[in-house]
Amino acid sequence: MKNFLLVFTIAGAACRGVQEPQSSADADLAKWERQATNVTIIRDQWGIPHIYGQTDANTVFGLMYA
């Protein structure tokens, strides 16, 4: 019985730990979506990306995405 309670407690703590990064992941996703609004990627007829951004950092972000 003690082993069952120990396993149940560990499983409960593990499940609670899994949910916390979701809010951090949501915050990161929102941050990347805001950054993506400042980038335009246009591919030419050969598939080469032409990347336009308001700043150098935005352009590098677009290059990493492309």
Beta bridge partners of 40: 52
Please report whether residue 18 resides in a domain.
no
Q: Which domain covers residue 35, as residue numbers?
A: 25-66
Report the distance separating Cα 22 and Cα 20, nearest Å.
Answer: 5
CB 30 within 8 A of CB 36: no
Average confidence score pLDDT of the chain? 79
Give the total number of structural domains in the chain.
1
What's the pLDDT tens digit per position in 20-29?
A: 556 788 888 8
On whether residue 61 sits in a domain, the answer given is yes
Q: Is residue 13 part of a domain?
A: no
The Cα-based distances of 22 to 31, 48, 49 in angstroms read: 14, 35, 32
If one compares 18 and 47, the residue with the highest pLDDT of the two is 47
Count of CB atoms within 10 A of residue 62's CB? Answer: 20
Provide the strand spans (E) within 1-66: 39-43, 49-53
Residue 12 falls inside a structural domain: no
